[in-house]
Amino acid sequence: MDINDVRGLGSIFALIAFSGIIWWAYGSSRKQRFDDDAKIPFVENEEMPAHDANDRSK
Whether pTM > 0.75 for this model: the answer is no
In a domain, 41, yes or no: yes
In a domain, 53, yes or no: no
Is the Cβ–Cβ distance between 33 and 27 less than 8 Å? no
Which DSSP letter does residue 26 get? T
Is the Cβ–Cβ distance between 30 and 24 less than 8 Å? yes
- Tens-digit pLDDT profile for residues 13-35: 999 999 999 999 898 888 899 89
- Total domain count, the chain: 1
pLDDT band at 44 (very low <50, low <70, confident <90, very high): confident
In a domain, 54, yes or no: no
Range of the domain at 20: 3-47
In a domain, 55, yes or no: no
